[in-house]
Amino acid sequence: MRASKEIAVKFIETGRLSLGSFNAAFRQIYTTIKDTVEEKKEA
């Protein structure tokens, strides 16, 4: 969760993400990180 938040904040700071699209983008970021971690655990 913390990594997702930090990535989203960096995207906002760099202008790649607006506050209006934060909710959807955060879910995508979180899901991507979660899936990656789960893949690594299975390997």
Is the confidence at residue 43, as pLDDT, over 90? no
Cα angle, residue 4 at apex, residues 43 and 11 outer, rounded to 5°: 125
Model pTM?
0.82
Amino acid identity at 34: K
Number of domain units in the chain? 1
Q: Write out pLDDT tens, residues 5-34.
A: 999 999 999 999 999 999 999 999 999 999
Look at residue 34 in the predicted model and tell me its pLDDT. Answer: 96
Q: Can you give the residue range of the structural domain that contains 33?
A: 2-42
Torsion of CA 8, 39, 37, 21, to 10 degrees: 20
